Homo-oligomer: A and B are copies of this chain.
Amino acid sequence: MTTAAQGLHSHVLATLGLAITAGEHPPGTVLRTDELAQTFDVSRTVVREVVRVLESMHLVESRRRVGVTVLPTESWNVYDPQVIRWRLAGADRPRQLRSLTVLRSAVEPVAAGLAAVHATPDQCRELTERALGMVATSRGRQLEAYLVHDIAFHRVVLNASGNEMFARLGDVVAEVLTGRTHHHVMFEDPDPAAVTLHVQVAEAVRERDAARAEALTREIAVGALKELDVLAP
């Protein structure tokens, strides 16, 4: 059971998409639609719709008289949430987590700076609440509860930035944080220093101190990068 699916389309899409992003069917592989139809025991219609979607993600290319060719990784729409999810579920999850964390480290500080300028009172309040929630759940193996607050916190910052491109990264950040928690640290409580930094970011945003919000968030980012050994020691 890789992915639940009501509807044949969803099922085939999930299976095939995952297979391709996981590296079965490596780039260059040629698939034929009626062969796929047979494999999945669905009609060609369904397969064609799936192929069209995969094509729009630039995972494959469909050419007449040739078939459906798997494209090289460089062409993939790596920002497509679906593709990200598939890759996080597959083999090169570590690599994926790394590159997404680097992206976060670039985006979130700037987003925090903008949030300090644009955040509504409501957003300021939720930010503070979430930071306090993180503090409250930061000790004693309450990792799941902590994660919820952490995700919400970062999502609010991204939304409050007022930039739609940033806002749409909320899901990505959620995936990264979830992946991190559920993967390699799972046991130990979160770093107290990081928790403090979140509280201070909330403070800075509330006080409209953009430079400080940005700098503090950059520190959080550095911490996240270190955790994944992306940084030189």
Contact = CB atoms under 8 A, between A and B. Distances in A.
Given A45-B45, A56-B56, A81-B77, A165 B110 contact: no
B103 A165 contact: yes
Contacts of A166: 102-103, 106
Nearest to A81: B77
Each complex incorporates copies of this chain amounting to: 2
Interface string A63-97: 00000000001100111111000000000000000
Contacts of A45: 45, 48
Interface in A158-176: 163-168
Contact of A57 (B49, B56, B99): B56
B9 A163 contact: no
A108 to B, nearest CB: 8
B164 A99 contact: yes
Contact of A106 (B107, B164, B167): B107
A114 interface: yes
A102 B53 CA distance: 29
A100 interface: yes
Contact of A80 (B77, B100, B103, B106): B77
A113 to B, nearest CB: 9
Given A77-B80, A79-B79, A80-B80, A102 B52 contact: no
A106 B99 contact: no
Interface in A7-55: 9, 45, 48-50, 52-53, 55
Nearest to A64: B7
Contacts of A74: 164, 167
Nearest to A95: B164
Name the 7 nearest CB pairs between A and B, nearest first.
A79-B79, A106-B110, A103-B165, A53-B56, A49-B52, A106-B107, A102-B163
Interface of A: 9, 45, 48-50, 52-53, 55-57, 73-74, 77-82, 99-100, 102-103, 105-107, 109-111, 114, 163-168
Given A77-B79, A106-B106, 14 more contacts: A9-B52, A45-B48, A49-B49, A50-B52, A52-B53, A53-B56, A56-B82, A74-B167, A78-B165, A78-B168, A103-B163, A103-B165, A106-B111, A107-B107
